[in-house]
């Protein structure tokens, strides 16, 4: 998803996207650690997607819940 697409999301949708992307990054990291991940480039792509979403959230001053 591009930054322009993310800017078009509502605050609730943006928060859901951040949460989903964090879960994806965690899952990919876990698969990589256990040797199950074949395409390691997916980790980089997912991390960039998360960074993009967090940047848009910060631009809007949206409160992002802490990771726990």
Q: Closest Cα to residue 18, out of 59, 68, 56, 60?
A: 56
DSSP state at residue 9: S
The DSSP-derived string for 11-31 is HHHHHHHHHHHHHHHHHHHHH
Residue 41 within a domain: yes
Q: Domain containing 45: what range? A: 3-59
Residue 64 within a domain: no
Residue 42 within a domain: yes
Residue 47 within a domain: yes
pLDDT digits (tens, 9 = 90+) for 41-59: 999 999 999 999 999 999 9
CATH number of the domain residue 52 falls in? 1.10.287
Q: Closest Cα to residue 56, out of 1, 42, 67?
A: 1
pLDDT at 65: 83
Residue 67 within a domain: no
Residue 39 within a domain: yes
The CA distance from 63 to 6, in Å, is 16
Average pLDDT, the chain: 93
Q: What is the pTM of this model?
A: 0.89
pLDDT at 7: 94
């Amino acid at each position: 998803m591009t930054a322009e697409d993310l800017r078009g999301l509502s605050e609730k949708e943006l928060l859901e996207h951040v949460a989903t992307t964090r879960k994806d990054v965690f899952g990919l990291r876990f698969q990589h650690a256990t040797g199950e991940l074949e395409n390691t480039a997916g980790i980089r792509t997912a991390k960039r997607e998360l960074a993009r979403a967090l940047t848009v959230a910060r631009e809007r001053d949206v409160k992002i819940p802490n990771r726990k």
